[in-house]
Structure 1
């Protein structure tokens, strides 16, 4: 029984980061974390997994309007991108300027930029968009 739980936990843990970066941001991360936590640890695991998933998911849904306003006040120029601005899109190596995300948004390891007048979070080493801020 415990081997099955460990295997299920390992599979869900490996899938959680990808699912957490879905368009829903923190909400998707919280849901994924809660499901993973429930499989591994029952109701208590679901609660812990939900909080952890929300942290991994990017800027929380309720903070997105505030972050969008912050980006506007920074007068960050918008990069014109010919492709769809979506999670998983890879931005070009040159021409895009990345900026630090303020600590108050609790997002570490990512930077932000503006693409087609839309703020996005980007994983700097791969230049992949991990969250589109609405």
Structure 2
């Protein structure tokens, strides 16, 4: 019974945090889920956490059509001296451009790399090299 409760708590916390942050991809979600689950409930928790994390990450995966649509766009690159990483917001000085046909995303070209951004939070969702 105790193991079942621990597994349920791990699954609930992973689903909540993953959905709230909307920053994970399938691989990152699986990795983070396994780490969190292992820390709370050992090997069984790692297995459950990895599975739940991967499922959350897969649901948040950015469609290839979004990536392809910004590849065709030509936008000037801006220099940002802060570290640009997934999950962190871009500075207010970076202009976010609309992604053609996908209003739920914005993008920018920062330090010669395209980044897909959540327009509500300005957080980087994906970096395209």
TM-score, structure 1 as length reference:
0.59
Matching residue of 1:77: 76
C-alpha distance after superposition, 1:9-34 (max 9, x if no partner): 22222343588736xx4422355568
Matching residue of 2:40: none
Matching residue of 1:55: 59
Q: Is the 8 A contact 1:78 1:116 kept in 2?
A: yes
Taking a change above 3 Å as real, the CA distance of residues 51 and 74 of structure 1, as seen in their structure-2 partners, is same
What displacement does 1:75 show?
A: 0.7
Question: After superposition, where does 1:101-112 map in structure 2 within 5 Å?
Answer: 102=101, 109-112=104-107
TM-score, structure 2 as length reference:
0.61
Matching residue of 2:27: 27
Unaligned regions of 5+ residues in structure 1, if any? none
Question: After superposition, where does 1:1-134 map in structure 2 within 5 Å?
Answer: 1=1, 2-17=4-19, 21=23, 25-32=25-32, 46=51, 50-56=54-60, 58-59=61-62, 63=64, 67=67, 70-100=69-99, 102=101, 109-134=104-129
Deviates more, 1:8-17 or 1:110-119: 8-17
The CA RMSD measured in Å over matched residues stands at: 3.9
Unaligned regions of 5+ residues in structure 2, if any? 38-43
SS at match of 2:108: strand
Aligned length: 118
